[in-house]
């Protein structure tokens, strides 16, 4: 190395390469986040999926860094080729995985980790090659500090933009392809910067043009790709699809009416949702006698609120839903407003978009009835809402004569999971009264009423119900032998046994 060159100020070519490092880092982290998000959407248990994806990706980067030692000559040419490969494989990763989940779901895991390994290895090759190119003109210690600075800045930028801007506004497929295009743009930049060093310049230029055209075509057709995959996955035609920082929301329409899916999991079907929501709401509401202040935790579709508003004495309903995209859709879309009877636009209803756990911690108001309508505990983020800590907070927000009701998965398919929730509610000093109802779209489904006073059979139910009546209501509280109580642990924040139990029980069925 020329000593005078080592002490010279960075040339424009070096500044361009450092800018490339920023883009490379941003793209590399985005592919990692996209893979983790898709795995958690489609496989559940976000902690496990993100941990394994990130671990695999970092391992692959280490492999790539080790392999970089075998690249001795024509470093700019190798760098350019690697950028194009990263652009193609990384950019296409979300689209390919979406399509694989729809058409060959059995191959999804193999393809997921195979692509993560490949992209991680290629990304692991990038930075060592850039450092070796820069070392020709900048002192090594300055190379390391500058490259790592730009690398970390790129990672910071995309980690903030991914959940707040990119996924909600562009979707995973278009975001992946757009960042692949950015990787390809770095390759074009390298083509220009090193045009005097590159052999077969024309072939490199054609490769850059071909890759960019493929990615541009993908960006243009991203919505078609997503819809093509989802149409196959959901069978029925999709009438609404939306991505938020928290989940992908899809509403389909078919012979059985509309269905709501969150991250691919069915939440309700129009033809029988009344069975679920009547069973969820009325045993607690009718038994109270005169509920005036009611809270709904989860249930952003407004169906539970619709049932609550059948009680004229109710003065206020507070709906606590984490995802504002859910409450906005079900407040504004004409199809969805028809399904919930315009419940979310009722003047008695106040919508609070926040985490229910945090809302319970920070509030002081008490309620006559609290309806807890969360998704099943498929991951630790949801599992915390089924813990003893959560139910202790719930107890504090219940009026002395109040009732809380919790949807509690299937006591037939996930028998141990169901009774884990019952045991956890009882562990904080509340009386638990479990019951179940048959909902054709889900099978046998379970609920638990929690209170300080014993639950009593109500004298009457609101008029106009399609499923429940006073005569059939006692039958819901009878458990046959194959759903009878079993011994379980208490689900605590420190162990989250329910998530593991739920995954084992539903995994046997799936």
Phi, psi of 116 (to 5 degrees): -65, -45
Burial 459-469 (b: 16+ CB within 10 A, else e): eebbeeeebbe
Q: What's the CA gap between 480 and 457, in Å, rounded?
A: 20
Q: Which helix (H) or strand (E) holds 123?
A: helix 108-134
Spatial separation of the C-alpha atoms in residues 188 and 52, rounded to whole Å:
33
Query: In this structure, what is the dihedral angle of CA atoms 412, 381, 332, 335, given to the nearest 10 degrees?
Result: -30
Q: How far apart are CA 370 and CA 363, in angstroms?
A: 14
Hey, what are 357's tokens? 């756990």
Q: Cα-flanking dihedrals φ and ψ of residue 488, to 5°? A: -145, 170
Q: In the structure encoding, which two tokens stand for residue 39, read together?
A: 């795995």
For 377, the token pair is 């505990």
Looking at the annotation, which residues are catalytic? Answer: 373
Assign 3-class secondary structure to 49-66: HHHHHHHHHHHHHHHHHH
Please, what is the angle between helix 222-234 and helix 201-220, to 10°? 50
Could you identify the residue written with the tokens 């079907």?
269
Half-sphere exposure of 399 (CA within 13 A, CB side): 15
Alpha helices in 310-351 (DSSP H): 324-332, 334-339
Residues 6+ apart with CB under 8 A from 206: none
Cβ contact 28:126 at 8 Å = yes
């Amino acid at each position: 190395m020329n000593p005078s060159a080592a002490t010279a100020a960075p040339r424009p070519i070096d500044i361009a390469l450092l800018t490339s490092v920023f883009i490379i880092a941003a793209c590399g982290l985005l592919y990692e986040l996209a893979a983790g998000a898709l795995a958690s959407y489609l496989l559940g248990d976000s902690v496990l999926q993100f941990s394994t994806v990130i671990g695999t990706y970092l391992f692959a980067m280490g492999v790539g860094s080790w392999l970089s030692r075998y690249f001795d000559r024509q470093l700019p040419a190798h760098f350019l080729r690697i950028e194009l490969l990263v652009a193609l494989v990384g950019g296409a990763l979300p689209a390919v995985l979406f399509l694989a989940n729809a058409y060959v779901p059995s191959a999804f895991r193999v393809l997921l980790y195979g692509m993560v390994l490949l992209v991680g290895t290629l990304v692991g090759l990038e930075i060592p090659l850039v450092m070796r190119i820069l070392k020709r003109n900048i002192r090594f210690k300055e190379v390391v500090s500058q490259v790592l600075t730009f690398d970390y800045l790129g990672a910071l930028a995309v980690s903030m933009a991914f959940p707040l801007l990119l996924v909600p506004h562009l979707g995973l497929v278009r975001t992946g392809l757009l960042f692949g295009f950015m990787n390809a743009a770095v390759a074009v930049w390298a083509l220009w910067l090193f045009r005097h060093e590159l052999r077969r310049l024309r072939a490199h230029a054609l490769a850059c043009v071909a890759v960019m055209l493929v990615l541009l075509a993908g960006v243009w057709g991203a919505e078609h790709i997503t819809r093509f995959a989802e149409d196959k996955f959901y069978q029925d035609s999709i009438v609404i699809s939306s991505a938020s920082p928290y989940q992908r929301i899809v509403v389909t329409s078919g012979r059985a009416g509309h269905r709501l899916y969150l991250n691919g999991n069915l939440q309700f079907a129009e033809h029988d949702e009344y069975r679920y929501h009547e069973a969820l709401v009325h045993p607690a509401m009718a038994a109270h006698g005169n509920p005036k202040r009611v809270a709904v935790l989860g249930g952003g579709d407004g169906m539970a609120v619709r049932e609550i508003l059948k009680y004229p004495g109710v003065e206020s309903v507070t709906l606590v839903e984490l995802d504002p995209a859910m409450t906005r859709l079900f407040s504004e879309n004409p199809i969805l407003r028809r399904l919930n009877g315009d419940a979310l636009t009722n003047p008695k209803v106040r919508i609070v978009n926040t985490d229910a756990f945090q809302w319970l911690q920070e509030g002081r108001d008490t309620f006559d009835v609290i309806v807890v309508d969360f998704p099943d505990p498929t991951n630790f983020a949801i599992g915390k809402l089924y813990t003893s800590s959560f139910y202790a907070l719930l107890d504090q927000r219940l009026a002395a004569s109040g009732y809380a009701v919790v949807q509690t998965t299937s006591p037939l398919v996930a028998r141990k999971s169901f009774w884990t929730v019952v045991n956890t509610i009882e562990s904080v000093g509340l009386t638990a009264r479990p019951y179940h109802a048959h909902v054709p779209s889900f099978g046998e489904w379970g609920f638990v009423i929690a209170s300080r006073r014993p639950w009593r059979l109500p004298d009457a139910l609101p008029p106009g119900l399609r499923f429940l009546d006073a005569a059939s209501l006692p039958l819901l509280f009878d458990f046959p032998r194959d759903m009878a109580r079993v011994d379980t642990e208490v689900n605590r924040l420190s162990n989250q046994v329910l998530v593991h139990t739920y995954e084992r029980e539903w995994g046997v069925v799936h």
